[in-house]
């Protein structure tokens, strides 16, 4: 988290000790809760998901993925990724967990349709997950 502090997709870190972290309090549901309870997978939210994935790549995370339960939707409908435990130790260069969560909610076809227009290169890379 220290390495990624300049990213708007990462919660602010206030203090770190040997056995604790004090970070920004994020109020809002997880992305899974938000979508499961009837929240709309809007184009803005889809762009935010794509932004988060590209941020992970820019920050050189080796795990370019997150479970929908580890993404918080803020009041401003911005996404913040929590639980970065294995971001630099596990390798995953495709958003398998995000796609698995969207599929479980029945929203993967919609996301892929929009992704094809928003970012054709990522669509070609990820369409067969």
CATH code of the domain containing 77: 1.10.510
How many domains, in total, are found in the chain? 1
Please report whether residue 109 resides in a domain: yes
Please report whether residue 2 resides in a domain: no
Please report whether residue 124 resides in a domain: no
CB 74, CB 28: distance < 8 Å: yes
Please report whether residue 76 resides in a domain: yes
Query: Can you say whether the dihedral through the CA atoms of 74, 111, 66, 105 is positive or negative?
Result: positive
- pLDDT digits over 34-82, tens only? 999 998 999 999 999 999 999 988 988 877 888 999 999 999 889 999 8
Please report whether residue 122 resides in a domain: no
Please report whether residue 38 resides in a domain: yes
User: Measuring CA to CA, which residue among 25, 49, 26 is closest to residue 105?
Assistant: 49
Quote the domain boundaries for residue 47: 13-113
Whole-number pLDDT of residue 42: 93
Whole-number pLDDT of residue 43: 93
């Amino acid at each position: 988290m220290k390495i990624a502090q300049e990213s708007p997709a990462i919660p602010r870190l206030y203090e770190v000790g040997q056995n604790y972290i004090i970070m920004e309090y994020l109020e809002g549901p997880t992305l899974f809760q938000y979508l499961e309870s009837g929240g709309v997978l809007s184009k803005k939210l889809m762009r935010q998901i794509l932004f988060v994935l590209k941020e992970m790549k820019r920050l050189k995370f080796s795990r370019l993925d997150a479970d929908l339960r580890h993404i918080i939707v803020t009041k401003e409908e911005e996404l913040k990724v929590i639980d970065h435990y294995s971001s630099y130790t596990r390798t995953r260069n495709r958003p398998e967990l995000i796609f698995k969560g969207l599929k479980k909610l029945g929203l993967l076809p919609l996301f892929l349709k929009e992704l094809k227009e928003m970012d054709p290169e990522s669509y070609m890379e990820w369409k067969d997950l």
